[in-house]
Amino acid sequence: MKKILLSLVAVFVTITAFADDNMITKKFSPAAASDLGGVHTTVATDGSVYASSTINQSMTFAGSVIAPEGDLMSSCVVKYNISGDEKWAVLLYGSSTVRAMTTDADGNVYVAGTFLDTSLDLIGTDGEANKKSATGDAGKISAFVAKIGADGKALAITALTSVANSYIQTVEIPDPWDWESETPPLVPAYSPWDPIEVTPSVIRVDGDKVYVGAEYTGNVPELGWEGRYFTDDFGYINDNYSVGVFSLNKSDLTSPASVCNIGSTKKGNSESDVTYDAYSPDCINFVVKDGNVYVAFFGWGDLTLTAASGEKPFSFDKATSYDVSNEHALVLSDLTDVANKSLEFRAKTLVDIRSTAQFRIKSAEIVGSNVYIAGSFGGQFALDNEKFSPKNSGDQYLGTAFVASRSLLTPNSWSWVNEGESVCNAMIVTGEEIHMSTESAVYHFKTSDGTAKGNEEFGVLDAAQANDQYIALVSTDEAKVVVDMMEIEPTAVEAVKAATVAGGAKFYGIDGVELSAPQKGLNIVKTADGVIKIAK
């Protein structure tokens, strides 16, 4: 029997949820290929799938025409039902890009992104007269959060915009470029190369709150977030990126409040505090479980995590040469007690990393007592110092994707590092499997021990799941946004169980281990008469 099971394992181990026969594929064309951006997806508990994109041309969807005026690069959100039928499309009119999406139990959609405009209008299926508007600044990249009803009606929108610190704005320095003048004129020291910005990267709903993770420069007055400032070699004062999580009321997206903030310990808010050090966290992701928020980020230099429970300082070694990177760490923190419940996983070996290596935590999920994390890194891997990213011909470490599990209760953990240069785009957890996508492939793993279950060679930009049953994937094909949706059908397992349990059937996972009952996904079933079946 074991030999038969192992043979079946060899045959079926590469069958994954993403290669299922009941996949539905839909496409829509909101912009030219070179203009497509902000491509994301989310899926509701009823199997409805939502997708976003930039839009700068007329598009017919669900029998209606939506289009921004002129060639303005706006954004749109579309909805398909569980059968793949087009239901509606809404417009975010203004120079905008969607960065993240999620839904709640009622099927409402929450969209977070950025816009570089004086205003952003959410125009839903209830028309222009019922639009919701947010105010921005054409010289700054503002964050927006929008709420759309399951019927496509515009429910709410809010915006957050940062400003430069008042002290920094008053500092002046001699103009270093006026070499011929004995007394060069004074110029403002504050001279950022990029616009001040608030850029969301992840959005989640829990209880009566919407939570948003973002990076920012400058100060965000509504949240009490302060910028971090440093001077460059010419004496100009620049913004240093910081990250944080904030919350909004779920009902109407009002009452913005800081959940946590992470940035350089030295804020540069006075003459004695402005330094040449430019250290910042690279990204942030988080999960909410039972009302508690857990954050994950990559850290460099001297940082401070601030939350309602207190402050937690971090200090990582700095390189003395431009040929190597600084020490970095992947930090996991329970915000209920940041001083005592923050874990640091350090990559202490200083290595030569190509500047294009991306450090980011693209997704984090808690299932039971396990935290699953996926992202990208370069050089030495913080979660397993025996692993390194691949190198190029110049012996520099490249960026690559990773997936890892860390247990909240036991020492059980595992990690996987891609062997080639890559960037992680998304991760979802469904039942006993983790699915992680890069720009060119989707990889599958067992949640229990990280065993690789094969991969498929197609790129996915974003992925989402609901109830371990519905899956949505989104990608692009030239000038089209491609939406793949599918249902992992649990009824087949229940039918096999009902038909065979009386006859003494036994159930096995695809690894040949006997199960007490069928699980979601693939099952090997041996009936009382010796017949072996594969069921889902």
pLDDT, block means (10 residues), the chain with 536 residues: 38 44 89 94 97 96 90 93 97 96 96 95 96 92 97 98 82 71 73 75 96 93 90 80 96 97 86 71 87 92 95 91 86 94 92 88 88 95 95 93 84 88 94 91 92 89 93 95 85 41 57 63 57 48
End-to-end CA distance of the chain: 20
The predicted pLDDT at position 165 comes to: 78
Q: Report the run of H or E that residue 496 belongs to, with start and end.
A: helix 491-500
The predicted pLDDT at position 13 comes to: 36
Residue 426 to residue 40: CA distance in whole angstroms: 10
Residue 437 to residue 423: CA distance in whole angstroms: 9
Phi, psi (deg, nearest 5) at residue 309: -80, -5
**CA distances, 43 to each of 80, 107, 288, 515, 533 (Å):** 10, 9, 18, 30, 31
**Nearest alpha carbon to residue 148 among 208, 115, 114, 107:** 107
**Nearest alpha carbon to residue 247 among 339, 160, 366:** 160
pTM: 0.86
Per-position b or e across 88-112, b if 16+ CB within 10 A of its CB: bbbbbbbbbbbbbbbbbeebbbbbb
What is the distance, to the nearest Å, from the Cα of residue 335 to the centroid of all Cα atoms in its chain? 19
State the DSSP code for 8. H
The answer for 105, left when phi > 0, alpha when psi is -120 to 50, beta otherwise, is alpha
User: Cβ distance 345 to 309 under 8 Å?
Assistant: no
Contacts of 45 (CB under 8 A, 6+ apart): 103, 105, 107, 466, 467, 470
The predicted pLDDT at position 464 comes to: 96
Q: 190 is written with which tokens?
A: 């504050």
Query: What burial class does residue 292 get, using C-beta atoms within 10 Å of its C-beta: 0-12 exposed, 13-18 middle, 19+ buried?
Result: middle
Alpha-helical (H) ranges within 55-175 are 166-170
The predicted pLDDT at position 411 comes to: 61
The predicted pLDDT at position 2 comes to: 41
